[in-house]
Structure 1
Amino acid sequence: MTAQRERPAGGTRGPDPGAAAPEQALADDGTRPTGGSRWVIPYGLDVAAGIAWRILLIVAAAAVVIYLADTLAVVLVPVVLAVIAASLLAPEAHLMSSRIRWMPHAIATAIVIVGGLAIVGGVLTGVVYAFISGLPQLTSQVTGGFVEIQNWVRTGPLGLNNQQFTQIGDQFLTSLQESQSTIAASALGAVGTVGELLTEGLLALFTLIFLIHDGPAIWRFLLRGVPGRVRDRADVAGRRAFASLVGYTRAIIVVAFIDAVTAGLGLWLIGVPLAVPLAALIFFGAFIPTLGAVISGVVAALVALVSGGITDALLVVLLLLAVQNLEGYILQPLFLGKSIKLHPLAVVLPISCGLVVAGIPGALLAVPLVTVLDNGLRSLTRESDGVIDPARVNPLDPRSARPEFADPKVNVVPEDA
């Protein structure tokens, strides 16, 4: 006969040996005992230490990412530029191949790429021709302005005589001659930079061709590295992120074009030379929100000051302020409001960080990168998602970036996409 276990009095069962030990209560002074030791760690210090090492881990990971991005910048920047260009050209290629049934997707890809290169080349050619044509006028005006400065230096409050003024000019020429070696070295560096830019441009073009032609296949290949249980959600997040990039690229080009045309027309009416190149500078400056407008405005105001005096410079400043108000209160809410919803601080800080880390390319790519990450992370972290099937999210439709848009009758990925 086997012996029976004695049950505790009162009908209660003893503690389960396999159960986890209950959490120790805090002491009156806010400390938590540490395994019976006489040393105790304040609860606030415990929480602060946990937060601190997690922050240090995140900072270390970010430092590694920045280091790798800086090391591979020669490859990374052309690829990112190709992705941005693909967000502009891929919808047109898929539209052509889906509307024109007899046209293969490869031919549609070739048409949009050749057309895009022709437009960019034509714009650059026109800008260079306008700059060369307006340069003699600007030179003569600069010469006249320099003569006025000479007269003001001699007859103004400085009161320099001809001998002193000649001495200042000789010192300037001497310093210029001494820096000829530096100028030659800079010229050789510029030649190397041109070769590097040509190589990066060819890499970007090569990547762009395959992103437009084989973009869906490349995305499906990348999704293989995502665990199966979250693959659909990652697919939806990626599609929405690219759709937001499509909307942002389209909107920023429209806004930049309107800014350039308005400012260029105003500069021409004021009589500022090089109005077309300055309008092109304003166009490209619009791709860097806030900072780009300031830089292009300063250049336009300086050209107006040198060529026409203080009156023209003030008129240019008023013109550019009007253009910026038009962009900020009408164009951006109308075109960009549905594509990106970022706080102004979330625009300025990434641009500043990108400028510090990677210079002009970093400032140019900061806002598109933040837009893509914002929409992708929002889709990943959203608890209830109205879209479950990734096929109901068209990455080529900017409306797909909005979570409330999930109408399969309107927004279905084409079969060849």
Structure 2
Amino acid sequence: MPWRSVFWVVLLALAVLSLWRLSDILLPFVAGATIAYLLNPLAHRLVALRVPRGVTAIGLILLASLVLVVGIALLAPMIQSQVGQLLASLPQTSEGLARRVQDLLGWVETLDREYNLNLFEGRSAKDFVAQNLPGVISEQAARLVRVVAQVLTGSLALVNLLSLVFITPVVTFYLLRDWDDLVARLDSWLPRQSVVTIRTQVREIDRTLAGYIRGQATLCCVLATYYAIGLGLVGLEFGLLIGVATGVLSFIPYVGALIGLVSSVGLAFLQFDTWLPIALVAAVFFTGQIMEGYVLQPVLVGDRVGLHPVWVIFALLAGGSLFGFLGLLLAIPVAAVAGVLIRFAIDRYLQSPLFDPRIGPP
């Protein structure tokens, strides 16, 4: 391997290692870069109208902040109402859970007697659970309290929250103001013999990422509206809250729908006494997945990413394992960039002397 190739491989490995070590503080910088990337086309149009780039950057950031504040102001009362209902219904939910547990224990106890499984060591299911459940609940509750306290009081969590609120707008402003200068500087560093090829691939990456982000953002809005309305029509309590959360989390493939399905069916299991409403709640999500997979994804996102579902799942697991929540957010965009580069490498290989279809068995 030439020394130049060794240098680039080592440099790439060091970059990945550095990102992994700094993953806890990267969120505001990634968020700022993403916002600047999304606002840059609009900034170009305003600059073309002779608006100074710095004024454009400040104006767009203020406009984006205003949209965010208005959105929060519109959703906050509804979400606050839903959370209040959730807290007020905890006693009733506990009673519903107790009834469900009793029904389940009766069913399991019947199986235990019929098949002589001896699951409860000769005691009734109720006595067995009464003796063992308090200890399990106490242990898990103590663990949950420790985790929540660590999350809420941990210095790193506070730093992350403050940096997300205060550093992200600053990063967005500087990147948006200096975007053209940064791009020109990077372009001047490209090797002249490969500059056309690199520019072509960068444009392809830009087209892929822009199409994916715009399509996924629209998809999230449509799904949030659908799930909120669907769960509300079924009569599920907190349907608005779960629907909006599911739609927002749908930016991460599979994760949003899975979390929404589990939480909705779990609440329906506690709220309703018959199976029909529970089945309707599940049907809302299955219908949403069919609509997303066969209608919304092809229309809004299309084949811009060009990744097989297996590779999407692998990218999500790998990103989450290496970088946590930030890795989940970036897994598909990074995989999309890798896909563009891999397709380019395959095309170059097919055009190289290494691949000659005229040579080989007929």
TM-score normalised by L of structure 1 = 0.67
Q: In the alignment, is the contact (CA less than 8 A) between 1:75 and 1:200 conserved in 2?
A: no
Distance of aligned partners of 1:278 and 1:290 in 2 relative to their CA distance in 1, 3 Å threshold: same
2:94 match? 146
In 2, distance between residues paired with 1:186 and 1:146?
27
Which residue in 2 is equivalent to 1:107?
A: 55
> Structure 1 residues 312 and 127 mapped into 2: Cα distance closer, same or farther (>3 Å)?
farther
Q: Is structure 2 residue 267 aligned with structure 1 residue 267?
A: no
1:131 partner amino acid: I
Q: Map residues 341-380 of structure 1 onto 2, 5 A cutoff.
A: 341-376=306-341, 378=343
**Shift of residue 127 of structure 1?**
4.2
- Are residues 1:78 and 2:28 paired? yes
CA distance in 1, matches of 2:343, 2:136: 58
Q: Does 1:132 align with 2:76?
A: no
When structure 1 is superposed on structure 2, of 313-322 and 170-179 the one drifting more is 170-179
Contact 2:319–2:331 (8 Å) recurs in 1: yes
* CA RMSD after TM alignment: 3.5
Distance across 2 between alignment mates of 1:246 and 1:151: 51
TM-score, length-scaled by structure 2: 0.76
- Count of residue pairs brought into register by the alignment: 327
More helix as a share of residues: 2
Given that 1:74 and 1:200 are in contact with CA atoms closer than 8 Å, whether structure 2 keeps it comes out as no
Given the alignment of the two structures, is residue 225 of structure 1 paired with residue 192 of structure 2, yes or no?
Answer: no
- CA distance in 1 between counterparts of 2:287 and 2:84 reads 30
Distance 2:155 2:302 in 1: 42
Aligned to 1:202: 166
Which entry has the higher C-alpha Rg, 1 or 2?
A: 1
Equivalence for 1:407: none
Q: 2:178 aligns to what SS in structure 1?
A: helix
CA contact (8 A) 2:261 2:285 kept: yes
Alpha-carbon spacing, 1:125–1:198, altered in 2? closer, same or farther (3 Å): farther
What does residue range 5-404 of structure 1 map to in structure 2 within 5 Å?
64-98=14-48, 101-151=49-99, 157=106, 171=135, 175=139, 182=146, 185-186=149-150, 189-190=153-154, 192-309=156-273, 310-337=275-302, 339-376=304-341, 378=343
Identical pairs, percent? 21
Alignment gaps of 5+ in structure 1:
1-49, 51-55, 384-417
Question: 2:220, 2:250 within 8 Å by CA — same for their partners in 1?
Answer: yes
| Gap runs ≥5 in structure 2 | 110-123, 349-362
Where 1:272 maps in the other structure, the secondary structure is coil
Letter in 2 for 1:256: C
